[in-house]
Structure 1
Amino acid sequence: MQAPHDTAGAGAESAKASPLYGRIKADILQRIRKGEWRPGATIPGEVELARSYGCARMTVNRAIRELAGEGVLERRRRAGTRVAPFTGHSALLDIPRIDQEIERLGARVGYRLIGRKSVAADAELAARLDVAQGAPILEVTCLHLADGVPFQLERRWINLQAAPDAAGEDFASSGPNQWLLDHIAWSSVEHEVAALAAEPADAEVLGIARGAPILEISRRTRQGSRVVTLARLLHPGESYRLQARASVA
């Protein structure tokens, strides 16, 4: 293992301006993202890392503590430090970016568009999106991957009366989750969560056995009183957890 080193130009100035523990932290994260240390793998101990980086053990300790606090690493007494397994989490009171969720796991972001089509809202969809029957809707189905492993199957319906610019997006290289967060200022969100057995078609896309446990998150997002989008998000049951926080003013 080699110590993190500066490169020429602006990157070098940025690296020199960062404290050493921050550069070590970034280097460890980069090695995880490149697959040198896979999820669940034990990384070298602090003494060995300090020797390879040419620094004090306390400097390495701080970098590892911060990565553990962010959920990238797991510290286990007498068992060393390992890369956290894929156990993504989502805040129920917020709308997370799926690419950032995957990056926080130290994984490589992957994406595949499965289908995109314009449809007229039927009675059920019109009721869920609070639009008139026959209103124009964009339906997008896509798969998000973490290091090549299916992480989330996203089925989304976008109200084109609320987000007309979405009609011009092909979503070939990134999903509607990111586009909507970048272009639409949402004001409220509703979530419904269910534990289900994977249906054959969903199981095939997610790469799991038929009937295997999956977590379904149904999300409806509004801008003011208007529903902008409805999403059905499916995760393999053992790879995801939910998080919610609330406070009283």
Structure 2
Amino acid sequence: MSESRAGSGGQGRVGGNLTWQAVRAEAIRRIREREWMPGSRIPDEAELAAELGCARATVNRALRDLAAEGYLERRRKGGTRVPETPVRKATFEIAVIRQDVEARGHRHGYRLLGDETGAAPDEIASALGLPKGTPLRHVRALHLADDAPFCLEIRWLNPELVPPERAVFDALSANEWLLRNLAYSAGSFGFSARTADAELAALMACPEGAALLAMDRTTFMDAVPITAATLIYREGYRLATTM
């Protein structure tokens, strides 16, 4: 690889000081210029490390990043390939609900509805990779926009990471406390329409049977579960993101 390619943008140099960002940039160039064709298997990590004059760990870091973004497919015992139909993965940023309300020009309000520890439902334990009946902290809160219901926050929390004596949610929501205090490394999102039953309709001040946007989310710190949350938004809520 030439120095001009490896060192573009000052991200790396040939030889032992080559950074994973420079290896990543070279791999993207080869994909875009069809040196590595769609569907083809690329050289293995040891071969690339020898060719580029860097550590195998540097190559591994670059390829893992490209696989996470959808540029490559890594298969156990099957090597690394350029996908025939590349799929770029969307990245969602977890928002502070208070800031979401304020960004829309409203005054944020907050009510804690419940906070107790009990056995997690089977579906929650499964989503977090925990044994059935694992005790978790169950928190429910209502976020308001100009005194009107905006978002119902329902979450199950790992009490070892979020103990009641350290994390008090009387005034500060669990949503905001978690983003201030714990760094998550992985998780999942799911979106669905939630039909408001009588209880939910009363909480959200909407007609019974209304379709509300529900976001189900799990977050982990490495392999340790942090929380499983469901956020249910008021009628007409619009979620926007960028690609």
Larger Rg: 2
**Distance apart, 1:92 and its partner CA:** 6.5
Does the 8 A contact of 1:219 with 1:230 survive in 2?
Answer: yes
**Mapped partners of 1:201, 1:232: distance in 2:** 16
For the residue of structure 1 that corresponds to 2:112, the secondary structure is strand
2:143 corresponding residue in structure 1: 144
**Distance apart, 1:122 and its partner CA:** 4.0
Structure 1, residues 66-102: CA drift from partner, whole Å, max 9, x if none? xxxxxxxxxxxxxxxxxxxxxxxxx961100011111
Q: Which runs of 5+ in 1 are unaligned?
A: 1-90
**Mapped partners of 1:115, 1:133: distance in 2:** 22
**Mapped partners of 1:213, 1:104: distance in 2:** 24
Does the 8 A contact of 1:214 with 1:236 survive in 2?
Answer: yes
Q: Which runs of 5+ in 2 are unaligned?
A: 1-89
**How many residues are matched?**
154
Does the 8 A contact of 1:213 with 1:236 survive in 2?
Answer: no
**Distance apart, 1:140 and its partner CA:** 0.4
Does the 8 A contact of 1:186 with 1:222 survive in 2?
Answer: yes
Q: Quick one: which amino acid aligns to residue 225 of structure 1? A: A
1:193 corresponding residue in structure 2: 191
Q: Quick one: which amino acid aligns to residue 242 of structure 1? A: L
Structure 1, residues 5-63: CA drift from partner, whole Å, max 9, x if none? xxxxxxxxxxxxxxxxxxxxxxxxxxxxxxxxxxxxxxxxxxxxxxxxxxxxxxxxxxx
Q: Quick one: which amino acid aligns to residue 229 of structure 1? A: T
Choose between structure 1 and 2: higher strand proportion. 1
Identical residues among aligned pairs (%): 34
* CA RMSD after TM alignment: 1.8
The TM-score with structure 1 as length reference comes to 0.58
Which of residues 222, 225, 241 in structure 2 aligns to 1:224?
222
Q: Report the CA distance shift for 1:237/1:209 in structure 2 as closer, same or farther (over 3 A).
A: same
**Distance apart, 1:135 and its partner CA:** 2.5
1:69 corresponding residue in structure 2: none
Which of residues 216, 235, 245 in structure 1 aligns to 2:242?
245
**Distance apart, 1:174 and its partner CA:** 1.9
Does the 8 A contact of 2:195 with 2:209 survive in 1?
Answer: yes
